[in-house]
Amino acid sequence: MSEKPIYILNASAIIALQRKGKLTQYIKDKTCLITSRVKEELIEKPKLKLREIKTDKLRKIVEDSVKEIEILVSEGKLVVTSIKYKRFSKLLDEARKTIAIYESRAEHEVKADHTIVVLALQKALEGRKTILVSNDKTINKVVQKLATSKGVKITIKTTNGNIT
């Protein structure tokens, strides 16, 4: 039996799965990793925005979304994983630069999460079977490009199916 793959989930995929009511089912029986930036985007930032939300209905949707992610993190179903920054600092820079090129932006203006790219590459370079789940086209292109240049295979899935 081959080892179970590691799933790296980007915020875009988590949001899409959550909106369909399929997040908990999707991650069941999988090893799912997120970065601290994904956690911040899905928990901390929405919590800060709650007081600005005017309608009760929207506030409840955001509160429920945050609560679901918090529970999944606390239960260890979404594992917040750190990048080995010292070992992968050059790769972080390369990912940010590549994203900037694809987005036609200056590096400091990059919005896409370069840490998710590096986490996927880190796991693949460690010899783990790695699947990136992301609906972000730029992230997906950058992962494909860097994985190829590093000689590793990363399967990319969107919430609508496979890319590679």
Q: Give the pLDDT mean for 109-129.
A: 90
Other Cβ atoms less than 10 A from the Cβ of 77: the count is 17
Looking at residues 56-60, what average pLDDT do you find?
Answer: 91
* Confidence label for 13 from pLDDT (cuts 50, 70 and 90): very high
- The secondary structure of residue 52, as a DSSP letter, is G
Q: How far is 23 from 15, CA to CA, in rounded Å?
A: 8
Domain assignment present for 81 = yes
Query: What is the tens place of the pLDDT at every residue in 80-101?
Result: 998 888 888 898 888 888 888 8
Handedness of CA 102, 108, 113, 118 (dihedral sign): positive
- Residue 10 belongs to domain with CATH number: 3.40.50.1010
Residue 1, in any domain of the structure:
no
Q: Which pTM value belongs to this model?
A: 0.88
Asked if residue 1 has pLDDT above 50, the reply is no
Residue 96: which domain range? 6-162
> CA 58 to CA 125: how far, in whole Å?
41
Return the percentage of the chain with pLDDT > 70, whole number.
96
Q: How far apart are CA 41 and CA 116, in angstroms?
A: 12
What pLDDT was estimated at residue 2?
56
Average pLDDT, the chain: 90
Q: pLDDT: is 103 or 65 the higher one?
A: 65
Question: Looking at the domain assignment, is residue 57 inside a domain?
Answer: yes
**Cβ-based neighbours of 60, under 8 Å, separated by 6 or more:** none
Number of domains, the chain: 1
